Amino acid sequence: KSGFIAIIGRPNVGKSTFMNRVIGQKIAIMSDKPQTTRNKIQGVYTDAESQIVFIDTPGIHKPKHKLGDFMVKMAEHSLNEVDAIMFMINAEEGYGRGDQFIIDRLSNVDKPVYLIINKIDRVHPDDLLPLIDQYKEKLDFQEIIPISALEGNNVNHLLKVLKEEL
């Protein structure tokens, strides 16, 4: 099994931390250069029966200038070429305007979107439910998966679910 997964989310939600944990020592390509027009391969996860190529889509932030509109279009286009999308949010932060921008883009994309709630080590479990409800009404998510990229909670479960999507 092999396939492509796009990771999107506001800055500092934990995308790189997730990649570091999943790819570990085996990082093939990794770059944090912001705002390139083309999608970058962030890393490749491999195990006995599967290979997942993680793609970073940097253009999906709200554009600050005219050229930005074009980059957003490019990013939208490439989201249509992956097998699934991980939309990562920070459990500590509520729903914000940056998220609305991403959700608007995602609503034009016909791919399964997983809502990944990261940093659950920082919140009380009871606080997750209202957060989930808030996001659920904005978009039809394939599944909602809370994780801690830093401590590793539920990351194996997430990988298992993603592999099933390939």
Q: How far is the CB of 105 from ligand GDP (least distance, A)?
A: 17
Sheet with strand 2-8: strands edge to edge:
40-47, 50-56, 2-8, 84-90, 113-118, 143-146
Kindly state whether residue 11 participates in binding ligand GDP, applying the rule CB under 6 A.
Answer: yes
Alpha helix locations (H) across 87-137? 97-106, 128-136
DSSP string, 67-89: HHHHHHHHHHHHHTTSSEEEEEE
Helix 15-23 vs helix 155-165: crossing angle, to nearest 10? 80
Kindly state whether residue 119 participates in binding ligand GDP, applying the rule CB under 6 A.
Answer: yes
d(C-alpha 40, C-alpha 9), whole Å: 15
Kindly state whether residue 17 participates in binding ligand GDP, applying the rule CB under 6 A.
Answer: yes
Give the residue, chosen from 76, 104, 121, 127, that forms a contact with ligand GDP under the rule CB under 6 A.
121
Q: In a 10 Å sphere around its CB, with 0-12 CB exposed, 13-18 middle and 19+ buried, how is residue 128 labelled?
A: middle
Give the residue, chosen from 150, 159, 161, 166, that forms a contact with ligand GDP under the rule CB under 6 A.
150
Q: How far is the CB of 56 from Mg ion (least distance, A)?
A: 8
Give the residue, chosen from 1, 3, 7, 16, that forms a contact with Mg ion under the rule CB under 5 A.
16
**Residue 142 partner contact from Mg ion, ligand GDP, none using kind-dependent CB cut-offs of 5 to 8 Å:** none
Residue 17 or 51 with smaller CB distance to ligand GDP:
17
Residue type, 43: G
Kindly state whether residue 57 participates in binding ligand GDP, applying the rule CB under 6 A.
Answer: no
Binding-site residue numbers for GTP are: 9-16, 56-60, 118-121
Binding site for ligand GDP (CB under 6 A): 9, 11-17, 118-119, 121-122, 148-150
